[in-house]
A and B are shown apart, each in its own frame.
Chain A
Amino acid sequence: MKVRMTVNGVPYEDEVEPRLLLVQYIRGMLGLTGTNIGCDTSSCGSCTVLFGGESVKSCTLLAVQGEGAEITTIEGLALPDGRLHPVQRAFRENHGLQCGFCTPGMVMAAVSLLNENPHPSAREVREGLEGNLCRCTGYHNIVEAVLAAARSEDLS
């Protein structure tokens, strides 16, 4: 089947198997391997991307369901001039990552969370990120990072 979508501002058009998952398309066919796969039950959030501006777990969609969509992955998050997005910067400044495996999904989920709720409480951040698992950080610094990003001025 044919599918067309825009990923990180670049239009793509590809012939895909109907059963191909969106995450497999992004990783395998587009070569955007920043988005990871951590489970097979839609539980971990490693595969989170922005789909029309909202976070989705890209293992829960088929590639063909991306028809016409605007998708942003971790590779497309930094500003065009190379400056980090405030969430990316806050993750670094607050040591919100260790092995990095959950990080792309976690960052995309955090971006989406702050879009919906620009000034969350720590509790709201924790509830909001419940679907994104991390085994390394104990979440403490991830929460710090999201709160710091919320405070940063250039988060538009």
Chain B
Amino acid sequence: MSILGHRVLRKEDIKFLTVGGTYVDDVDLPGAAWLAYVRSPLAHARIAGIDVTRARQAPGVVDAVTAQDVGLAPSRMDADEIPEVMARPFLATGTVRFVGEPVVAVVANSLAEAVDACELVEVDYDPLVPVVDPSMALDDDVLLFPEAGTNVVTSIGEPNVEGVGEGSLFDGCEVVVRQRILNQRVAPCPLEVRASAATFGPDGRLTFYVSSQTPFTMREDLAKMLGVDEDRVRVIAPDVGGGFGAKIEPYPDELLVAWLARRLSRPVRWTETRSESMLGIGHGRGQVQYVTIGGSRDGKVAAYYLEVVQDSGAYPQIGALLPDLTKTMLTGTYDIPKAGFFSRSVVTNTTPLTAYRGAGRPEATAAIERSMDLFAAEIGMDPADVRRANLIGADRFPFTTVIGTQYDIGDYQGALDLLLEVSGYKELREEQAGRRRSAAPSQLGLGMSVYVEITNADEGTEFSSVEIRPDGKAVVKTGTSAHGQGHATAWSMVVAEKLGLSVDDVEFVQSDTDIVKSGIGTFGSRSLQSGGVATRRAATRVLEMAKDLAADMLETAPEDVVADPAGGGLQVAGVPSARKSWAELSGAATERGAPLLAEVDYEFQGATYPFGAHLAVVEVDTETGKVVLRRMVAVDDAGRILNPLLADGQIHGGLAQGVAQALLEEFRYDEDGNPLTTNLADYTFVSAAELPSFECARMETPTPKNELGAKGIGESGTIGSTPAVHNAVVDALAHLGVRHIDMPTTPERVWRAITAAAP
């Protein structure tokens, strides 16, 4: 019986539960100096002067450097869309553009001395007018980069100049609904903040420890910064305490650690504080959306248009490119005949935006799913019925949407039906009607979303190798870089299944660029369908090699060699005595000069599209505006599931983050660009107390795109849950005349909406 598809406990857990993981801050680096940054207290200012004299003389201080001392060319994301002049300097150069931007790097013998010396650095700022609101950035009254002549980084599509009248997309619609929707800026908040540490060996090679999802990208950027070949750099991502997309792109303040270590000929380490992290690590979402949806009174949607203003923060990174993915997933699970999209990404004097769990797709889903509910409310139909009238049928895959995205396979109707059944939707609606009749202060709201998303969106390859060690155990080395997802267990299952080994007999290696030959990393729910498939192919090849070898040793045909049913080796089918253990095979292979090693660069066959349906049940206190999430029901289909334990874990985590965006979390600035939620006391990070236990049901529709049948599961929970919860809150108050409330639906916002809607 195959181990795949079974609930296998994680082999990596014991360490975390007994001595804790080894994160960058735990790495022992004798003699290391500590780095701390002086950061900008202003959102927008010219730097009139910097004086580091006193800091340099402070006890224990080794160095204090400014942009001038560093003299490095700014780092720019490798994307044509991003203008050269908007590239981010390693340290602020001439101008500061957001609160928290690093200005001076101070290195000392101890962390306390480095922090103390930062206080002695004097920076003179001439304040400039800040631009905080992305909609105002569009006006170009104040420019972040005067050389660029505009705050617009990049744009997609055309504005809808025809509006909704004759000749427009909406020509002929009986009903047209429009709404401005804020998809607010949130802080990813991995529990481990950013950290890096650099040390040069006697051979002049750099070893760099960093909390990253992409060690190989990090190596590339370090080599570029130092002006050396990549083989002079070794990057190790040890245990990483969460990333959620925010640890994909290398940051200047983490890279500079290596530059300082070289300059000082001494190991240097850096771990930011949480308060620094809230400003330093990229933020997520940050879209202002304008939706228009039109159709007929029988529930058929005829046209949909989405305009987006994407906040990119002070320096454009991945955040500026999120609208591309929003556009890709524009019409969601629906067959909408006409659709349009227009986005502009703008710079503002705020922390740069980056990928955050879902990255551009949650925004697309939020827009279309809110729109479906707005449309349903307008025509007085149940939102489930409106969705059913427009879902793409299960018999229509592969399906190409009006925007040109080709979905691999799905059963959206099936997901919705299952959701309504397991949640007891009908009874919930009855309960809701009862509460409305009695005008109880606590009203019930039901909200749903039927989502589809894109995983493994980039083209390319991923690497894995499998080798049989002399002791007969296998070692898998992979280019993906797990940071909580459980790849050690999952990849070991893949190898164990192929080779007839136990999961514990497979050693798992990742995230060390000296040991793994190449790699891309872990993000965008890509790992199993890239690195996991590469691992399966490598294991398959090793098995073939071993069968040939065993056949030769046992003087039989390779076709007659099978895995020993008891495990641990190969045998001639039906002849248990004619057997070679993996250790024997490994030894023989090495002797013959052809070790049992297979290296695979797997070129994947395009993206996959997980889908599902989520229902949120909320109770809203109409007197106080307080919202309580009573139930969260999720049906998710990510193709064939390798390990349900891990898949459920991904869904749970995603659901919590999605709920958090709808109800609680928002990274806020005042109008001068001062951040208001700069630590975990002020930022309303979701806790156990605000959440229910989740009710999850699974569907498995295998994708034809890879031999595991697997799609990604890392982000689905977030993508589906945010609009479900958001819709539920509005639904609870619909009978009072409330049409829309922006996220997060805090008591204050809810209360205001109720008051404003009151006749």
- Name A's B-contacting residues (CB within 8 A): 17, 19, 27, 33-44, 46, 74-75, 77-78, 84, 88, 91-93, 95, 97-104, 107, 122, 125-127, 129-144
Contact = CB atoms under 8 A, between A and B. Distances in A.
A44 B273 CA distance: 13
Interface of B: 9-10, 12-23, 25-26, 112, 189-193, 239-242, 244, 273-275, 483-486, 645-646, 648-649, 652-657, 679-681, 685, 687-689, 691, 693-694, 717
A69 B689 CA distance: 31
Contacts of A95: 9-10, 645-646, 648-649
B9 A74 contact: no
A135 B14 CA distance: 20
B680 A140 contact: no
A92 B244 contact: no
Which of A17, A33, A78, A132 has the most B CB atoms < 10 Å from its CB? A33
Nearest to A34: B20
B17 A84 contact: yes
A38 B273 CA distance: 8
B649 A141 contact: yes
Contact of A36 (B23, B190, B649, B655): B23
B691 A126 contact: yes
A33 to B, nearest CB: 4
A138 B685 CA distance: 11
B192 to A, nearest CB: 5
A10 to B, nearest CB: 15
Contacts of B717: 138
A127 B689 CA distance: 5
B687 A101 contact: no
B653 A100 contact: no
B652 A99 contact: no
B20 A75 contact: yes
A153 to B, nearest CB: 20
A101 B653 contact: no
Contacts of A139: 652, 656, 687-688, 691
Contacts of A74: 17-20
B653 A98 contact: yes
Given A35-B20, A84-B18, A103-B16, A92 B9 contact: yes
B310 to A, nearest CB: 24
B483 A99 contact: yes
Contact of A137 (B21, B112, B193, B653): B653
B656 A33 contact: no
B22 A138 contact: no
Contact of A136 (B22, B242, B680, B681): B242
20 contacts: A17-B112, A33-B20, A38-B191, A41-B275, A44-B274, A75-B20, A93-B9, A95-B649, A97-B17, A98-B484, A101-B23, A101-B192, A127-B688, A127-B689, A129-B688, A129-B689, A135-B653, A138-B656, A140-B691, A141-B652
B493 to A, nearest CB: 15
A13 B688 CA distance: 38
Nearest to B655: A138
A40 B274 contact: yes
B40 to A, nearest CB: 19
Contact of A133 (B193, B687, B693): B687
A75 B484 contact: no
A100 B9 contact: no
Nearest to B644: A95
A26 B140 CA distance: 52
A131 B241 CA distance: 18
Given A40-B275, A135-B242, A99 B191 contact: yes
